[in-house]
Chain A
Amino acid sequence: MANRIDAKFEELKKAGKKALVTYILAGDAGYETTEEAVLAMEQSGVDIIEIGVPFSDPIAEGKVIQEASLRSLRDNHTTLAGVFEMVARLRKKTDMPLLLMLYANTIFRTGTDFFFDKCAELGIDGVIVPDLPFEEHDEFREAAARNNVHNISLVTPTSHGRIGKIAAEASGFLYCVSSVGVTGMRDSFSTDFDAFFDEVKASAKVPYCVGFGIRDGETARKMAAYCDGVIVGSAIVNKVAEFGTKAVPEIAALCKELRAGLDAAH
């Protein structure tokens, strides 16, 4: 069966549209809130959703997602097993591409083969592992490939000479980090986007999306000009931080704004 991520990018390309990819941390304000939010995001123009699995020590995250991880683990005792059950419930209601974003130890400790077999069984189309650089991709390569699960590669403005080799091997889509540092919303970007995306464009064989720091329709519109889609995380997670179990309408409104921003991009 074709991977849903690939099918989605094909569909978007035909329609001449940019991908809206969002992130939500599983179990923050409870599994039900996450579940409702995923479905509401789909209804609000989101194409692909990354479901974050909370980790005790999220070293690549800024304050917003760090605190969400802590809340999810401490207040709701979220587990990977619980996230799998939630995805199983979601799969009865949606056929949109779903990814898990999680740290290498969560996969490794669960058992790499077991984990990726489970992804295939549940219909998880990809994983993003923030502490697994290109040099260590072998860790999960075989198990992911066997199960047709994309292990998404990241490039950053500090990747310099590495962009070519990373982009050439990327599967699913390439996650372009807009600026140095950890995840989170930013008032400004310091990156020379033209130079960065020229390098990405020259070697990418898959669609490329940009993330880190996109928070509203306007930033989404600006960044979309450089790539095939945008990824929004902290701005969504921030709504859960602020509104808890009542966050779903707020998230839906934000996604509609992001969608409108993207559709206005050329």
Chain B
Amino acid sequence: MEKIGRFGEFGGQYVPETVMNAVTELQEAYDRYKNDPAFLAELHDLYHNYAFRPSLLYYADKMTKDLGGAKIYIKREDLNHTGSHKINNALGQVLLAKKMGKKRVIAETGAGQHGVATATICAYFNMECEVYMGREDMERQALNVYRMNLLGAKVTGVDSGTATLKDAINEAMRDWATNIETTFYCIGSVMGPHPYPTMVRDFQKIIGEEAKQQILAAEGKLPDCVVACVGGGSNAMGVFYDFIPDKGVRLVGAEAAGRGIDTPEHAATLSKGDLGIFHGMKSVFLQNEEGQIAPVYSISAGLDYPGIGPEHAFLHASGRADYVAITDEEAVQAFEYLSKVEGIIPAIESAHAVAAARKIAPTMRPDQIMIINLSGRGDKDVQQIARYRGVNING
């Protein structure tokens, strides 16, 4: 039988039979709309007039001078409406859900950014929205929970397992299996069963397409290196994708090393994981010898996931992209660094990319160019970083 939705050996459709028809229905709908000029025109109108695209490609002059290596540009996905790249995908999927006649949208969220983006578009389109969020993440990201409620979404806490992102996905999948005829599952990253990894990448690839045009306009040549943080991997796939055929462009993903990849407390999937089958896909997962999925840890709720999208697993296996692991401490230092040096407070997820850039840029020549994808803004993280630094800001 022909294998669909594969990136090399990675990908596939490993889901319960109950949701298989919905997956197929989604696949057919996406195949129908992905090249439909009217759909794409509507999506791009929303990108432009609602999400505030194109996002800036900002030349980070002070960071460039301070690091003394490559010329650094920052792709400002943090300036999008709702404060992260997640809006790109949520717009695409909820628009597709509307075309498919679905009335109810569910989503999972880790840091809350995908939940907020989905809740926002559902408010815009007047659709029912329920967001599953691990109980632990609800505490870490209380502000985003309140934002989702403001937007009219129901946030359902998940207490099972580690009460973080993977458990929120489990619960969203169970909801989907139960309410399959009415409900559209808006997955937040380039993961899950086909067509999600491809579809979410397609909705996010605008990041790289814009960045390429912008850097060519500014510098007249392609960048030498593109850096992005990776949890499931949607912002990284978004910025990488258009550069994949350009072999001279080094692609670097920054994973969460938590308290260190030699401790049990990290989420560095490609650094320490093994091939497995979970959440609808064959990919790389942090797991034990018997295939039990590992409890993972990162200071960043958005990177706190034991797997990675199958296309990243493929880019990693084929050597097209490199993946590095960044600890909590390095990420927090980068969070503080970008705030002080450039006056930009990054999301703690994106700070992992900034930390990787701080290591790589000084090893590059001044005539070389690096683009950092700044996937989100850091307002949501300020309280947690203060706590990490032992500062009490609650009065």
Contacts and interface: CB of A to CB of B under 8 A. Distances in A.
B1 interface: yes
Nearest to A108: B277
Given A56-B161, A57-B166, A138-B1, A131 B14 contact: yes
A108 B17 contact: no
Contacts of B285: 105
A133 B15 contact: yes
Interface in A50-75: 55-60, 62, 66, 70, 73
Interface string B275-290: 1111110100101011
Contact of B20 (A107, A138, A139, A162): A162
Interface residues of B, number: 41
Contacts of B3: 138
A81 B173 CA distance: 29
B277 to A, nearest CB: 4
Interface in B217-252: none
Given A105-B277, A108-B291, A109-B287, A182 B14 contact: no
Contacts of A162: 17, 20-21
Contact of B177 (A104, A107, A182): A182
A166 B20 CA distance: 12
A133 B14 contact: yes
A159 B21 CA distance: 6
A80 interface: yes
Contacts, number: 119
Contact of A104 (B19, B20, B179, B277): B277
Interface residues of A, number: 43
Interface stretch (A150-158, A214-222, A224-232): A150-158
A139 B275 CA distance: 14
Contacts of B167: 57
A110 B181 contact: no
B160 A66 contact: yes
Contacts of B20: 133-135, 158-159, 162
A55 B3 CA distance: 26
B289 A57 contact: no
A79 interface: yes
Contacts of A66: 160
Contacts of B282: 108
Interface string A155-189: 11011111000100000000001001110000000
Contacts of B174: 59-60, 62, 181-182
B149 interface: no
B293 interface: yes
Interface in B172-224: 173-174, 177-181
Most interface-central of A57, A139, A177, A180 (chain B CB within 10 A): A57
A108 B276 contact: yes
A45 interface: no
B283 to A, nearest CB: 11
A181 B178 contact: yes
Contacts of B173: 59
Interface in B1-49: 1, 3-4, 12-22
A182 B178 contact: yes
A133 B287 CA distance: 22
Contacts of B274: 109
Given A56-B161, A57-B278, A180-B178, A109 B290 contact: yes
A3 interface: no
A134 B290 contact: no
B221 to A, nearest CB: 44
Interface string B290-322: 111100000000000000000000000000000
Contact of A158 (B18, B276, B290, B291): B18
B170 interface: yes
B218 to A, nearest CB: 45
A186 B179 CA distance: 15
A70 B159 CA distance: 12
Nearest to A81: B290
A261 interface: no
A57 B21 CA distance: 22
Contact of A133 (B17, B177, B276, B279): B17
B305 to A, nearest CB: 12
A181 B18 contact: yes
A107 B278 CA distance: 12
Interface string A71-108: 00100000111000000000000000000000111111
A70 B275 CA distance: 23
A160 B20 CA distance: 10
Q: Which of B4, B15, B166, B280 has the most CB of A within 10 A?
A: B15
Interface of B: 1, 3-4, 12-22, 160-161, 166-167, 170, 173-174, 177-181, 274-280, 282, 285, 287, 289-293
Q: Closest 8 CB pairs between A and B?
A: A109-B291, A181-B178, A105-B291, A104-B277, A56-B292, A60-B16, A154-B17, A133-B20
25 contacts: A56-B293, A57-B166, A57-B170, A60-B174, A66-B160, A70-B160, A81-B290, A104-B14, A104-B277, A105-B285, A108-B276, A109-B289, A132-B14, A133-B15, A134-B20, A136-B14, A138-B3, A155-B17, A158-B21, A159-B17, A159-B20, A177-B18, A180-B178, A181-B178, A182-B174
Given A105-B278, A135-B1, 20 more contacts: A56-B292, A57-B161, A57-B167, A57-B278, A62-B174, A105-B277, A105-B285, A110-B291, A131-B14, A131-B15, A134-B17, A139-B277, A154-B17, A156-B17, A158-B180, A160-B21, A177-B18, A181-B177, A181-B178, A182-B178
